[in-house]
Amino acid sequence: MKKKYTQLITPEQLAQSIEQSDLIILDASIQPVGNMTKPEFQWPDVSLPNARRFDLETDFSDSRAAFPHTMPSAEQFQHQARLLGINNDSQVIVYDSFGVFSSARAWWMFKAMGHHNIAVLDGGLPAWINGGYPVEQANNTSQTATGDFQASYNPDYFSDTRQVLESLEDDTCVILDARASARFSGQAKEPRQGVRSGHMPGSKNLPFGQLLDRGSFLPKEKLVAIYQSVAMHEQALIMSCGSGVTACILALAAELCGYQSISVYDGSWSEWGTRTELPVVTN
C-alpha cells in the first residue's frame, strides 16, 4: 500500500487500496452491554471482502483476568496476530459493525504492541455498505498463512488502578470517562452486576457518542473544540469507560487532535466500580 494509514481511513480510500498485497482487514465487532441497537449487518453474515476475525472477547483478551477485555500478554497477542496472517509490514485496517465502536480498541491494542500501520475504517461496516462497496459472507474455514508479527509492548499506552488513583490529585492529568452521562452521574444503574454507580472524583465525562455522527468521527475542527473544552493540550489524558473499549474511541479522537500523552485505563469502570476501597462520587 503506497500510503500508510495510522489513524483513520475512509471507505473510499480503502476501496482504492483493496487489492494491495500488504493489506489485512479485521472485523473487531463485539456485542455491547447496555441498550445499543443491534446492527443491521454483522459478522459472519456480512463482512468486508477477505476480512478476518479479530476476536476481542476471547483470542485478544486475557482469559485469566477478573475483568472483561483485559489486555493479553505480548506472547498471546503475537501468537493470535500471527494466526491472522499479520506481518510486521502489514497495513492493517480494522472495522466494526456499529461504525466506530470496538474497532478503536483493536487499533489501540496494536499500537501498544508496537504496530503503527493500523487504521480504523471511519464509519465501519455501515459506511462501507452505504458507499455501495462490495461485501461477502465471512469464510471461517479459509486457511491463512502464519504471519511474522513481532509484538513489542509499550506499557505507556495503558494505566492501572494505582496510576489512575494517583492522577486524581494531579493537575497535569485529566481523566475522561466515555460512558453515558446518566451512568457517569450515577442516575443510571450499571449494566454489569456488582458494579457501583457513579464516577471517579475529579474525572470528566465525555460520552463517546459526542465525538461521532452516525458512526463516523466528527470533522477534526469539531473534535478539537470538544477537547479544548475538557483538557489543555499540554495535559496528560487517561481514558476510561465501562470495560476499556469505548475509552479507545476517546484515545483515537485525542490523537487526531494532536494530544501527545494519552493512556487508557484498562480495567476501567468494571474494575473501579467493583473495588469498594476506591472512591466513587455521584452528582
* Catalytic entry in 173, 241, 248, 257: 241
Dist. CA 262–CA 176, nearest whole Å: 11
Task: Indicate where the chain has its CATH 3.40.250.10 domain(s).
Answer: 8-153, 156-272
Q: Which fold has domain 8-153?
A: Oxidized Rhodanese; domain 1 (3.40.250)
The separation between CA 170 and the C-alpha centre of its own chain, rounded to angstroms, equals 25
Q: At what angle do helices 247-256 and 220-228 cross, to 10 degrees?
A: 110
CATH number of this structure's domain 156-272: 3.40.250.10
pLDDT, one tens digit for every residue, the chain (283 residues): 467 999 999 999 999 999 999 999 999 999 887 767 789 899 999 999 999 999 999 999 998 887 888 999 999 999 999 999 999 999 999 999 999 999 999 999 999 999 999 999 999 999 999 999 999 999 876 778 999 999 999 999 999 999 999 999 999 999 999 999 999 999 999 999 899 999 999 999 999 999 999 999 999 999 999 999 999 999 999 999 999 999 999 999 999 999 999 999 999 999 999 999 999 999 8
Q: Is 248 a catalytic residue?
A: no
| The model's pTM | 0.96
What is the distance between the alpha carbons of residues 227 and 43, in angstroms, rounded to a whole number? 33
Number of neighbouring beta carbons within 10 Å of residue 273: 22
